[in-house]
Amino acid sequence: MAGNSFGEILRVSTFGESHGTAMGGVLDGMPAGIWMDVAAVQAALDRRRPGQNDLTTERKESDLVQFLSGFHPEPDAQGRLQTLGTPIGFLIPNEDRRSQDYAPLADRYRPSHADYTYEAKYGVRDHRGGGRSSARETVCRVVAGALAAQLLPPGVRIQPYVARMAGIGIPSDAQLDLTQAYENPTGCPHAETAEQMRKALETLKANGDSAGGVIACEIHGVPAGWGEPVFDKLSARLGYAMLGINAAKGIEFGSGFDGAESTGSAQNDAFVGPGQTATNHSGGLQGGISNGMPIVFRVAFKPIASIKQVQHTVNRAGDPVDIQIEGRHDPAVLPRALPIVEAMAAFVLADMYLAQRHQIHA
């Protein structure tokens, strides 16, 4: 089954199944003549790669991207490849498949998985790891996002981090170096909180259970003026991108839902200069357009549905049955979702940047 497309000027479509031979995608709309650091793309994939530590799935994948089209074959002295303006095709082979682990699930619907809804939609489903509903599909988004990020103006920085996981959150007064998020297996840039998260995940994993949490993201360096005032608000496009990630259940910008309990006098961001406000309750967005302040949002992720405890469900005939899911699964999606959040944010921003550049120079 082919995937859907995402984007307006930049467009990416993905294909493949989690237990097929490969995942892949096509990125269209990339301008010609751009020198791309393909090593940076692989570095982004490495941050998402499974099997890196004991807090992730035991599945081992090298996740080496193979570019099939869209680049001039001769690299420059830095190893970069130049875009041709044609669609960029790429593949990521699946190397460590254990389809037999899913054989007992062929006619049973896993709780909180997309098994039933996919079968209701298509009349058939790939029970091996969930097929297209598997988070394995997100590997393609990381490739597209890492390429799109290289279109952004210098100074734009996207910094996601795990702010809350397994009921444990970073203290509100903590001093953070967000660049350290990827250095910790939990994805949390606060050492003390990260250690508490680790212990909680180890306990959950030992009990065959899983955890959810919140990924926060700060985007610095976006100038005022990106985004459209009605249907393509920058907040709406970011929300669309984030809620398309597996297990994402909600998104808020700036003060978000807490701000809904406040007052206008407390929430209004007073301007102290062009593109600068005294506070940032708006999260860098007003009227769906960037205002020059850091764009701040948080994405809630549910606990991973694949747990090893016995669960009650029904089979295709509607008969009640018990299942116990085997296979290899993460105790929490959040640490490996960081590069996915970063990639999807980069893709949206690059698309908006191209649209803004077109409007200004039209």
Are 186 and 165 within 8 A, CB to CB?
yes
pLDDT digits (tens, 9 = 90+) for 293-346: 999 999 999 998 888 899 999 999 999 999 888 766 788 999 999 999 999 999
CA distance 33 to 298: 35
Are 53 and 331 within 8 A, CB to CB?
no
CB neighbours of 74 closer than 8 A, spacing ≥ 6? none
The reported pLDDT for the residue numbered 361 is 52
The reported pLDDT for the residue numbered 51 is 66
For the chain, domains (ranges, CATH) are 2-361 (3.60.150.10)
The tokens describing 133, both together, are: 């509903």
The tokens describing 157, both together, are: 């920085």
The reported pLDDT for the residue numbered 297 is 98
How big is the chain, counted in residues?
362
Are 181 and 187 within 8 A, CB to CB?
yes
The reported pLDDT for the residue numbered 95 is 79
Strand partners, 276: 273
The tokens describing 21, both together, are: 């031979």
Mean pLDDT by 10 residues, the chain (362 residues): 74 85 93 97 92 69 92 96 97 80 84 92 84 86 97 97 98 94 95 97 93 98 94 96 96 96 96 95 96 98 91 94 81 94 98 86 48
